[in-house]
Amino acid sequence: MGVQGLWEILKDVKTNKKLCDLKDQILAVDLATWICEAESVGQMKNAISKPYLRNLYFRITAFTKNGTRLVFVTDGKAPDLKWKTIAHRLDTRQDVQKGTNAASGSRSRLNARFNECCQLLDQLGIPWIKSEGEAEATCAALNEASLVHGCLTNDSDAFLYGAKNCVSKFVQ
């Protein structure tokens, strides 16, 4: 989700990088970011049954060819504070997600996508971690501990969790 307006505040210290600039680096990837991006592309909704798997495969291929190693992180249980926002989002969506219960913290639709993606990651030999809570917090912890060079996430709150470097968008 991120902190509203934080990317705008940080714009003066951001740098633009191309995929080739990330060669020989290890990045922690907030998998939910990639899933949500793939599902938000209107042209893919009716053309491809599982756009998140397609995009995951092609992005992994691009990063691997570039010499960038990836460690994926899936979300665990969202903090209670976040569920009000999630419930509001679900109420405003036209295709309300079945299997999502804001009161219980269940995100079965997203978790089903995580499971499919993690099966693909296992087949490709790409490591992944299930976070206890927010994926961006785990990505940030890996970055803060210098286990990865940066976090690939659109959630600006990764900085609040201690991330030193975040990649929010990349150009091939």
Task: Identify whether the C-beta of residue 86 lies closer than 8 Å to the C-beta of residue 110.
Answer: no
Of the options 3.40.50.1010, 3.40.50.2300, 3.40.50.2000, 3.90.1150.10, the CATH number for the domain spanning 16-79+115-167 = 3.40.50.1010
Among residues 170, 171, 167, 172, the alpha carbon closest in space to that of 27 is found at: 167
pTM, full prediction = 0.83
Burial state string for 59-76 with b = 16 or more CB within 10 A and e = fewer than 16: bbeebeebebbbbbbbbb
Contact between 111 and 133 (Cβ < 8 Å): no
Pick the most confident of 2-16, 25-39, 44-58: 25-39
For residue 9, pLDDT over 90 is answered with no
- Domain ranges for the chain: 16-79+115-167
Q: What is the pLDDT of residues 116-172, one digit of tens each?
A: 999 999 999 999 999 999 999 999 999 999 999 999 998 888 999 999 999 887 666
Q: What is the pLDDT of residues 11-37, one digit of tens each?
A: 888 888 889 999 999 999 999 999 988
